[in-house]
Amino acid sequence: MKQSILDTESEIIEEFEMFDDWTDKYQYIIDMGKSLQPLSDNEKTEQNLVRGCQSQVWLTAHTEGENVVFQADSDAIITKGLIALLVKVLSGNTPDEILAARLEFMDKIGIREHLSPTRANGLNAMVTKMKAYALGLKSLKG
Amino acid sequence: MSIKNIEAIRMDFPVLHQKVHGKPWVYLDNAASGQKPLPVINAISEYYLKYHSNVHRGVHYMSQLATDKFEAARKTVQHFLNAEHDHEIIWTTGTTEGINLVAATYGRKFLKEGDEILITGMEHHANIVPWQMLCEEKGCVLRVVPVLENGTLDMASFYELFSDKTRFLSVVHVSNALGTLNPVKEMIKHAHSKNIPVLLDGAQSSCHFAIDVQDLDCDFFVFSGHKVFGPTGIGVLYGKTEYLEKMPPYKGGGEMIETVTFEKTTYAGLPFKFEAGTPDIANAIGLAAAMDYIHSIGWDVMEAQEKFLLEYATEEILKIGGIKLYGTSPEKCSVLSFLIEGIHPYDTGTILDKMGIAVRTGHHCAQPLMGRFCIPGTVRASFAFYNTKEEVDALISGLKRIKTMFL
């Protein structure tokens, strides 16, 4: 049985609770970013771009059975690490599950400063694009 | 003149004595905005506490007092720029509005289809977009002086770009993204030899050294109050009388009129022709306090400290290795724009913030310039006279740490 979005969120929250200080936390995010499978250059298209001010994010989605699978990349490692967390939580779930996700883990692991809409590649913009993909894929199936 | 040491100067800036993310705050984003010394904060609150009234219209005591202080502030700015007349000082909301005002009044009235406007490749967006808007409206053409690899202007191209259609030169005095101090006197002299007026964008110069608009001989000079350690929301347009007089008003409303009937309105003289509505009285007074403060410290003291910080930081940052500087002009202000090779500026800025160090990252509102260097942006540390050697050391050790985290 697949892991629910909430369970993955809890897992991440637990991991972050083990970090004593910000360096460990950011080192973890950096390592997540480095280990995220990069997109190929021909997938880094205008269409896949999440508009941001300082760093660029590309996001693709396709379905495998019932589930949506996300892939993402960024030119900045911290941004890439943050989106890797989102991919880990949301990828492999159904469109309805993705659309219903509240993603409270972002608050709980203390990365709220990345949520501001003016912040370069606010996570909000990424979440919105991921949910838009889910909605689009749902209507294609529907 | 009393010469204060840096520690004493820092006591004048309450905002500097704080912790961010549990660490002493190191503010190295002065090119974005300067911090405010107590005399500025006090001047603004004193105005609201003791003599706030509208200016230029009341017969009552407080209105007269507010008017006197407000007009005294204009004189302070006049002396700050060494302008010939106080009516050549027009209050604006900042550099951006100053340039828009000139483009929308002088530009609309005197430029026509096919005329050429000359700017440089290191302008920030405020000295690009207003001219592009004018070009779209009037069919003028924007010409751009290229930037060389070391961040200086290609002066050979500058001379070549003048044609018999060139009608206006608008140029940045000091580059916000690179720190380059441009040879503006030479540029102004050349433009004037062809009877072309020149606007100097002083947003980044007016906080680093004394400005003398008569010596520069520029026709317009614009800057923002908040960058010269004054309040946000206020700025100045200086214009030579001969130009300001022949320009039409910018905004319509109260203050800028002489008589109004429904058939015909006649306009007030300078400077009020360009100051429709109730002005930003409190911040004009605050800006004058900032200029008085600068003079009390002394440009020589400020320049010496900034020169020391820039030289020390440049030397130390190059010792780290794997760092590329952008803007290495021999003539530059205390701005250090750089990239750690292999690390995105956003990543560097995010981790520096976690260390309590405030820098600017990104394109610095000068996207064409970043395009010139084929980079998404830089990390920019910009120093003011109240920054210390220890703060540069914090930046350097932060950058070393970042290299180990990412590479």
- pLDDT, tens only, B91-149: 999 999 999 999 999 999 999 999 999 999 999 999 999 999 999 999 999 999 999 99
pLDDT of residue A118: 54
B21 interfaces chain A, CB cutoff of 8 Å: yes
Is the pLDDT score of A116 beyond 80? no
Distance CA(A54)–CA(B377), nearest Å, equals: 8
Question: Which CATH architecture fits A5-141?
Answer: Alpha-Beta Complex (3.90)
Give the count of beta carbons closer than 10 Å to the beta carbon of residue B78.
19
A13 interfaces chain B, CB cutoff of 8 Å: no
- pLDDT, tens only, B138-195: 999 999 999 999 999 999 999 999 999 999 999 999 999 999 999 999 999 999 999 9
B406 interfaces chain A, CB cutoff of 8 Å: yes
- pLDDT, tens only, B42-68: 999 999 999 999 998 778 999 999 999
pLDDT of residue B325: 97
DSSP assignment of B311-375, as one string? HHHHHHHHHHSSEEEE---SSB-SEEEEEETTS-HHHHHHHHHHTTEE-EEE-TT-HHHHHHTT-
Cβ–Cβ gap A76/B354 under 8 Å? no
pLDDT of residue B2: 44
Mind telling me how many Å the CA of B105 is from chain A's nearest CA?
32
Residue ranges of domains in chain B, CATH in brackets: 6-30+298-405 (3.90.1150.10), 41-295 (3.40.640.10)
ipTM: 0.88
For chain A, the structural domain boundaries read 5-141
DSSP assignment of B90-127, as one string? EEESSHHHHHHHHIIIIIHHH--TT-EEEEETT--GGG
Mind telling me how many Å the CA of A74 is from chain B's nearest CA?
10
Q: The tokens of B39 are what? A: 């005399």
- pLDDT, tens only, B250-293: 999 888 888 898 988 889 999 999 999 999 999 999 999 999 99
Cβ–Cβ gap A56/B376 under 8 Å? yes
Torsion angles phi and psi, residue B305, rounded to 5:
-65, -45
Of A23, A56, A78, the CB nearest to B347: A78
- pLDDT, tens only, A16-55: 999 988 889 999 999 999 999 999 999 999 999 887 656 8
Instruction: Quote the distance between the C-alpha of residue B79 and its chain's center.
Output: 17
In the DSSP assignment, the letter for residue B12 is: T
Instruction: Quote the distance between the C-alpha of residue B43 and its chain's center.
Output: 22
Question: Position of tokens 């003149």?
Answer: B1
Percent of chain B topping pLDDT 90: 91
Distance CA(B113)–CA(B136), nearest Å, equals: 10
Confidence of residue A125 (pLDDT cuts 50, 70, 90): confident
* Vertex B335: Cα angle to B6 and B304 (nearest 5): 35
For the segment A59-86, the average pLDDT, to the nearest whole number, is 94
H or E stretch at A23: helix A22-35
